[in-house]
Amino acid sequence: MNYPNGHKRTIPASPSQNKGNHIFSNRGMTLEEDINVTNQYYLDLDKAVIHKKPTPVQIVNVHYPRRSAAVITEAYFKQASTTDYNGLYRGKYVDFEAKETKNKTSFPLANIHEHQIKHMESIVHHHGICFLIIRFTVHNETYYMPAEALFAHWYNKSKGGRKSIPYETVKDCSYLIPFHYHARVDYLSIIDRLYF
């Protein structure tokens, strides 16, 4: 279904399609789409102002096949991006990265870059709320991992340790994010528990 703003919305499947402890209603949606829907819901309720950061791109070449159409044919990233999302919630600065993995048994640390870790460390140093959202698509589970837990695994890797975080470890050092119809990735419920 297309809405007037041009965004395509998908209606989740009925609860009867759930099997066991897994919720299959948001299959087909990417983590980014789910977070964007959640952030819009938070904004509509005036609960939080959190947006996806634009990626800084330098346009080099544009092709104009018609007067009314322009196609970017060449562009490059101006600089390495930091994290995916930032904003404000209850007077606190919120900054986070979101990653999906199809891996069943672990989260590969290759999905995170050193400049992102440095940025996240700076946010934590200045008392902002910083975290990583990880979705294991095979398990259809989404987790909130505090930045401090991520740092421990990152620096262990840089000292020759594991290059991934085992799935069971993610479960132990993170918080399962509840799925709701409107707030598909309700990370504010975790922030409320941890900070408020």
Domain ranges for the chain: 15-54+81-195
* Whether CATH 3.40.50.2020 fits 15-54+81-195: no
Contact 173, 167 (CB under 8 A): no
Of 99, 61, 107, which Cα lies nearest the Cα of 83? 99
Q: 5-14, pLDDT tens digit by residue?
A: 455 444 444 3
Confidence of residue 29 (pLDDT cuts 50, 70, 90): low
- List binding-site positions: 82, 84, 97, 116
Q: CA-CA distance, 98 to 43, in Å (whole number)?
A: 19
Using DSSP bridges, classify how beta strands 141-146 and 175-176 pair: parallel, antiparallel or unpaired.
Answer: antiparallel
pTM: 0.77
Mean pLDDT to the nearest integer, 78-82: 69
Give the residue numbers of the binding site for Mg(2+): 82, 84, 97, 116
- DSSP H helices, 45-97, are none
Backbone angles phi, psi at 157, to 5 degrees: -60, -45
